[in-house]
Amino acid sequence: MATVLLVDDEPQIRTSLRGILAEEGLRVLEAEDGAQALDVIRRERPELVILDIWMPEMDGLQLLQHINDGSLPPAVIMISGHGNIETAVMATKLGAFDFIEKPFSLDGLLRTVNRALDHQAATQRRSGNGAADVNAIVETPAAVESTGAVVGPSKLWSERTIAKSVVASGLGLHSGGKTGLILQPLPAGSGIQFTSLSTEATVPAHLDWVDSTGYATTLHRDGVTARTIEHLMATLHAYRITNLLVKVQGEVPILDGSALELCRLIESAGVADQGGRVEEIVIHEPIAVGKEGGERIAIEPYDGFGIAYTLRYPHPVGVQQHTYLHRGPESFRDEVAPARTFGFLKDMKQLTAMGLASGGRLDNFILIDDEKVVNTQLRFPDELARHKILDIMGDTYLLGRPLRGMITANMTGHSDNISLLREVRRQMRL
């Protein structure tokens, strides 16, 4: 029987939650303030603390810091009637497992409680086994013998999530507003799900729910919208994360315009092997959309995963070509993740009129005029082509499974990427 501690200065809330949790077979303890809560935690060692933010003397965030000073502290769910993304980001940075807003539904609360208890049990198991190397974990498939052929049978990859909740914050590239990104572990079989602080509904990171591909990839379902997801999805693809809850306030923050900080975020969380299996999609025949010599993207058989991109723009960009062969998260982090979003000065007026690129700043994308790159030094001579590869890698993961094949693209964007995925699904009857 797991033990849950309720910390809230309002007795009626504690009474209501006690009844709900006790009916689920949980042992429930109560505390009305921070000092009392710390005493109960020391004596009873609960697996989970449900903690209100707004309390007298010691508020919930201060108490959370004290709770996490111990070795192997309990999981903590923060609750608040006056929450926002900045408060949620702060709570997660301080070690909270999740942040939920009042009023919340009973079903939603119980789902969060069960996730937190499952995560706490997994954390305790891992603490006895020691930490595992991210690169070694991510690229080791389940044992399947190779035939030695160019394209062998499909492999079964282990399901994975992150070991703890992590956060990032910044501006939305297109909205221009402050936004946050909270990543939380999910059980095996859950998939990658996007949600927000103000709803319990989710939208799966899957081709079925792509709503828009204009200058970014957007998902939408049941009132939940997640915009500009491609850099995050590329990072999850590279690290083979298969189960994750992503909380965003409308749009994933652009950060520095690349995926480098997202790589650091995943590595700071750690990768947790969950033991389930995901079968990769293997391409056996070429599949293409677009026209030869023009805008075109294709995938063909290849015993691995790779992307070759050709980009052609007038001076000062010219022709850029890059081929990326995925060899694990380290190769992605070094070769593709640092490549930043780019835009042309001549297009900015049109983008502004469309309500896009409002969050573009001189430090979060590459700005190009008729003569030169205006605001930065390129990280690679072919950084623009590498960024297109980053976008393709993110969009490709919307098939919901790892993909084995070689993608070749010429002057394509998000809409072309999604068209190719739909054609792959149609021809392979996925």
Closest CA to 299 of 158, 412, 147, 148: 412
Contact of 362 with 355, CB cutoff 8 Å: no
Scored b (16 or more CB within 10 A) or e, 233-247 reads bbbbbbbbbbbbbbb
Contact of 190 with 205, CB cutoff 8 Å: no
Write out the chain in H/E/C secondary structure.
CCEEEEECCCHHHHHHHHHHHHHCCCEEEEECCHHHHHHHHHHHCCCEEEEECCCCCCCHHHHHHHHCCCCCCCEEEEEECCCCHHHHHHHHHCCCCEEEECCCCHHHHHHHHHHHHHHHHHHHHHHHHCCCCHHHHHCCCCCCCCCCCCCCCCCEEEEEEECCCEEEEEEECCCCCEEEEEEEECCCCCCEEEECCCCCCCEECCHHHEEECCCCCEEEECCEEEECCHHHHHHHHHCCCCCEEEEECCECECCCCCCHHHHHHHHHHCEEEEEEEEECEECCCCEEEECCCCCEEEEECCCCEEEEEEEEECCCCEEEEEEEECCCHHHHHHHCCCCCCEEEHHHHHHHHHCCCCCCCCCCCCEEECCCCECCCCCCCCCHHHHHHHHHHHHHHHHHCCCEEEEEEEECCCHHHHHHHHHHHHHHHCC
Contact of 235 with 266, CB cutoff 8 Å: yes
Cα distances (angstroms) measured from residue 270 to each of 48, 233, 320, 336, 396: 21, 17, 34, 20, 23
Is 315 a catalytic site residue? no
Closest CA to 242 of 134, 162, 348, 322: 162
User: Which of 119, 237, 326, 414 does the annotation list as catalytic?
Assistant: 414
Active-site residue numbers?
414
